[in-house]
Amino acid sequence: MIVSQGRAKLSTLERLALIRQLSELPLTQLGQIEFALNVPKSVMPGMAAPVGDRAKALLDWADGPTGVGLGVVYEVAQQIIPTLRPLEQSDPTGQSLTVHLVITLAGDADEMTLDQLLTLLNELRHKSHNDFLEIMKIDSGDGIRCIINGSSYALNSLKTQHQLGWCQHLLNRPVLSVEFEYD
């Protein structure tokens, strides 16, 4: 996925993976995605249309001048369907892209102890129900930036919990933001 002018551009393989996955969804889940994205009714075929036709219309709109972008469609789909398979993550040069979750906490990273880092890791693993999360890096800046690696399901779970207000504090520090980062 490449970000250009604020919108994620998907490679050919990513676009193919996305339309295949959306076309396999039950109509009710595709309808939830359409509703969440506020897709204009005028661009969608009737409810009697096959799911594949509705998925293509949704993606055509999203990728068009009035749409939200294909990357946003994928992010919303991940929220509605946590088991959604990751897209083929590559850019046009053939290099792999890695997805991390960046959690920013209030405070200064230089003041954190090893015990606090281990406690943070255990909290993240507990909240995501996944023992394979790793803290890849801790940066200072506008707070403590924690770069987290793990399965897409675990990372999505943490982001969703933050969005729903269930993960507002870690290490008794306010969580300032939870965002995906691609490199």
Query: Picking from 10-14, 94-98, 141-145, which range would have the lowest pLDDT averaged per residue?
Result: 94-98
178 and 115 both lie in a single domain: yes
57 and 113 both lie in a single domain: no
CA distance 166 to 91: 34
- Span 88-107, pLDDT tens digits: 543 444 444 567 889 999 99
74 and 105 both lie in a single domain: no
pLDDT value of residue 79: 83
| Domain end position, chosen among 52, 80, 108 | 80
pLDDT value of residue 150: 81
- Span 47-77, pLDDT tens digits: 888 888 999 999 999 999 999 988 888 888 8
Is residue 90 domain-resident? no
- Sort strands 173-182 and 99-105 into parallel, antiparallel or unpaired: antiparallel
| Domain end position, chosen among 51, 80, 109 | 80
Indicate the average pLDDT of the chain: 82
pLDDT value of residue 19: 86
- pLDDT over 90, % of the chain: 31
Per the model's pLDDT, the better-predicted residue between 26 and 135 turns out to be: 135
Instruction: Identify residue 70 by its one-letter amino acid code.
Output: L
72 and 121 both lie in a single domain: no
> How many domains are there within the chain?
2
Is residue 94 domain-resident? no
The CATH number of residue 126's host domain is 3.30.70
134 and 76 both lie in a single domain: no
pLDDT value of residue 21: 83
Burial code (b: 16+ CB inside 10 Å, e: under 16) for 37-74 equals bebeeeebeeeeeebeebbbbbbebbbeeebbbbbebb
103 and 178 both lie in a single domain: yes
Containing domain of residue 121, as a range?
Answer: 99-182
pLDDT value of residue 177: 92
pLDDT value of residue 50: 86
Is residue 143 domain-resident? yes
106 and 176 both lie in a single domain: yes
